Amino acid sequence: MVFLELAAQAVRGFSPSIRVALKPGYSVLQAPGDLPAPLAGLIVALSFPDGRGGDSAFLAPGAKAGRAGLSIQGNDGSVWRIVRDLGGAGGLHKLNRATNQFDVVSQDALEMGQALRAGAGFPARSTWEQLFTLTGPQLPTRRPKGPARPAGGAAAKPAAKLPSAAWNMEAAGGAPAGEDPQKVAALEAELVTSKRAAEVQFKLDGINTELFGIESKRKGWDELEQRLEAARQDLQKADAQGGAAEDIIARARRYPDEKRRHEEQVNRLRDEQQSARDNVPQLPPPLRSDQRFLGALAGGLALFIGALFLEGAYRYLALLSMVPFTLAALLALRFIEDLQRAGRSGGKLEVLEGREKKLVDDFALTTMVVQKAFAQVGAETLEDFLAVMERRAGLQEQVRQLESEWAQAQTSPEYSSLAAQAAHLKTQQEACTQELLSMSGGYVRDVRDIERELARFKEPAPAPAPRPSVSGEGFAPVTTGPTETWEDPTPPLLMLATDLFATDVPSLWSVLHDRALQYLTALTDRRYHGISVDKDGHATLEAPGRTLSARELPGKDLDLMYLALRLTLIEKAAPAHKLPVVIEDTFNTVFDAAKQPLFGRMVKHLGSMTQVLHVSGAGQNAAVADAPTPI
């Protein structure tokens, strides 16, 4: 079961109007007043209505009407909502997943309780109040005191009838009934010891606080050194992978643009090559196959040779041979021009092919350099390579910053004197611990408890009882002042737990013992090293040199024992029952400022197993309230 949402309007202890989403796990809710809001009581009033308007007690002062609502996710997976007008009507609703609307289940108080137990998984009211809500008024010292016992710790006995001789002895100067000189002397000696123990304990607490501060600083410096060493190792790994030079990094950054430009240039050259191939002229046929050239040459030779054999004016026919020779020459020149034209086209194609080869070779070299750089750092893409390079640059900056901080720490006077301070404080701590252990085996009662008991023993003796009649009729002597005692909270607590766990007290205690002892020793600073429970549930604690029942404990220690048992029961019940826990933190009188963080960590640990709502007041410091939610 999980609480999902809390809504309140004009409810005592809350803001005038709130609507808060409640998260699983650990949540801190901060009330607007100095004291925690009565969340546990409000949930009880909503979930277990009395049908007579008793929830009107939660109305804010001066408010005529108030309203509260609680949304719950039950163990059956359904979502339930309880809405009530304080002092008026109310009802239980269930989410209809088909319409996504809440349907009314019942407005009868008895039927509402039955539906919550059957569907949502709510336990019985007494189980919920005593096991899964933890509030200040539940502490044993804030409950009505148990029956008083006579001074000296002896059990009360019926008044005995004394003969007249006993009366004569008391009247002759014996110890009065209201005062015991030996007991008073023992109490005064115990008071001196207790005051000294309080002084030593106060000094020890201060030493522990200083040691904690020193250890925190040393831990911080150790963590700084560890971070520096880890950063150096990471930088060495990055360098071992191949720290690329700046020009390689710049070349890698330009690589995509160069690749695109290379492809464009190669495509353009290939287009030019194709165009050059298409425009290359055909080689002219050789002159020996040109009939015109051969005919002109033959005609010219014929005229020239014929003129040699002629005489007279016919010899001038040789001049006519110039015409065919000229034609043959022209045809030869045309053939040479065709050859030259074809040669020029082939040369251009060779130039284009050479340029293409050079472009390919240059880009292959660039690609080889970039791919080699990628392979050195184990990157496959440019993004991976740049990420590695940026991480390396970040590591270099981180190492420089950590080295600077570490150098400043080492040169500070506080760092050099820290070890000597810690050793001196540990010596004082050991001395104080030994002195405390030497006082009554390490256990002393609270000063106020001793002073109250001493004051009762120093009260004036009551007036002597009238002398009995001669007839020998007895009389009841005046009893000594009673000693305050507290009720042992363990039996009723374990009785409820046995119903929840479906077992008996001895079997249940065998499950709870080890964890309860851990909580007890931590909360009491190891003043107690053992705890046991008899078959009826009565608790007995072991302290150095003595054994005490729960009723004999000082009030503060009894509260701490009760809290240890409650935390243990919640921790053991949480995994199986998954019921939310509400803690109203009013334990400032039980925990001092140094102990509150420990209690906070314990409560936060419970939040890892079930939903824990830790309610604190605005004037209180919830131990681990990282981000309290206002209510």
DSSP letter string, 180-205? -HHHHHHHHHHHHHHHHHHHHHHHHH
Same domain, 228 and 260: no
Looking at residue 480, its pLDDT comes to: 35
Residue 273: pLDDT band (50, 70, 90) is confident
Residue 27: pLDDT band (50, 70, 90) is confident
In this structure, which amino acid lies at residue 517? L
Looking at residue 484, its pLDDT comes to: 54
Where do the H-state alpha helices sit in 172-287? 181-240, 246-279
Q: Is the pLDDT score of 256 beyond 60?
A: yes
Same domain, 274 and 338: yes
Same domain, 273 and 214: no
pLDDT mean over 356-363? 84
Same domain, 195 and 296: no
Same domain, 251 and 373: yes
Cβ within 8 Å of residue 299, ≥6 positions away: 321, 324
Cα 347 to Cα 584: distance, rounded to the nearest angstrom: 97
What pLDDT, in 10s, does the model give residues 592-624?
Answer: 777 778 888 888 888 888 888 888 887 565 544
In a domain, 539, yes or no: no
Cα 46 to Cα 91: distance, rounded to the nearest angstrom: 9
Identify which has the larger pLDDT, 373 or 21: 21
Question: What is the percent of the chain with per-residue pLDDT over 90, rounded to a whole number?
Answer: 4
Residue with tokens 């039955």: 114
Looking at residue 386, its pLDDT comes to: 66
Q: Is the pLDDT score of 429 beyond 70?
A: yes
What pLDDT, in 10s, does the model give residues 566-583?
Answer: 999 998 888 787 889 999
What pLDDT, in 10s, does the model give residues 517-569?
Answer: 888 888 888 888 889 999 888 999 988 888 888 888 888 888 899 999 999 99
Q: Is the pLDDT score of 377 beyond 70?
A: no
Cα 97 to Cα 151: distance, rounded to the nearest angstrom: 67
Work out how many domains the chain is built from and give that number.
2
Q: Final residue of a domain: which of 425, 459, 493?
A: 459
Residue 557 contacts residue 549 (beta carbons within 8 Å): no
Identify which has the larger pLDDT, 150 or 224: 224
Cβ within 8 Å of residue 109, ≥6 positions away: 49, 50, 51
Looking at residue 449, its pLDDT comes to: 65
Cα 194 to Cα 188: distance, rounded to the nearest angstrom: 10
Cβ within 8 Å of residue 24, ≥6 positions away: 2, 611
Identify which has the larger pLDDT, 491 or 623: 491
Residue 335 contacts residue 290 (beta carbons within 8 Å): yes
In a domain, 619, yes or no: no
In a domain, 80, yes or no: no
Q: What is the CB-side half-sphere exposure of residue 82 using CA atoms within 13 A? A: 26
| 3 state DSSP class of 429 | helix
In a domain, 61, yes or no: no
Cα-based angle 228, 230, 234 (whole degrees, multiple of 5): 115
In a domain, 607, yes or no: no
In this structure, which amino acid lies at residue 442? G
In a domain, 481, yes or no: no
Same domain, 353 and 391: no
Identify which has the larger pLDDT, 182 or 162: 182
What distance lies between CA 423 and its chain's CA centroid?
34
Looking at residue 564, its pLDDT comes to: 92
Looking at residue 388, its pLDDT comes to: 67
Looking at residue 408, its pLDDT comes to: 77
Looking at residue 540, its pLDDT comes to: 92
Q: In what order do the strands lie in the sheet with 612-616?
A: 133-134, 581-584, 612-616, 26-30, 629-630
Q: Final residue of a domain: which of 360, 377, 394?
A: 377
Cα 378 to Cα 242: distance, rounded to the nearest angstrom: 9
In a domain, 338, yes or no: yes
Same domain, 220 and 326: no
pLDDT mean over 445-468? 61
Q: Is the pLDDT score of 320 beyond 80?
A: yes
The average confidence (pLDDT) of the chain is: 77
Task: Write the burial class of residue 463 (CB in 10 Å: 0-12 exposed, 13-18 middle, 19+ buried).
Answer: exposed
What pLDDT, in 10s, does the model give residues 121-149?
Answer: 888 888 888 888 988 888 888 765 545 44
Same domain, 411 and 435: yes
Looking at residue 319, its pLDDT comes to: 83
| 3 state DSSP class of 591 | coil
Identify which has the larger pLDDT, 605 or 202: 605
To the question of pTM greater than 0.75 for the whole model, the response is no
Looking at residue 565, its pLDDT comes to: 92
pLDDT mean over 482-492? 74
Q: Is the pLDDT score of 188 beyond 70?
A: yes
Cα 201 to Cα 137: distance, rounded to the nearest angstrom: 28
Residue 217: pLDDT band (50, 70, 90) is confident
Same domain, 342 and 405: no
Q: Is the pLDDT score of 173 beyond 60?
A: no
Question: What is the percent of the chain with per-residue pLDDT over 70, rounded to a whole number?
Answer: 78
Q: What is the DSSP letter of 51?
A: S
Q: Is the pLDDT score of 414 beyond 60?
A: yes
Q: Is the pLDDT score of 180 beyond 80?
A: no
Looking at residue 465, its pLDDT comes to: 46
Same domain, 372 and 421: no
Q: Final residue of a domain: which of 377, 408, 437?
A: 377
In a domain, 549, yes or no: no
What distance lies between CA 336 and its chain's CA centroid?
93
Looking at residue 239, its pLDDT comes to: 60
Same domain, 335 and 372: yes
Minimum mean pLDDT among 307-321, 445-459, 461-475: which range?
461-475
Same domain, 339 and 393: no
Round the CA-based radius of gyration of the chain to a whole number and report it: 52
Looking at residue 627, its pLDDT comes to: 65
The domain in which residue 391 lies consists of 182-241+386-459
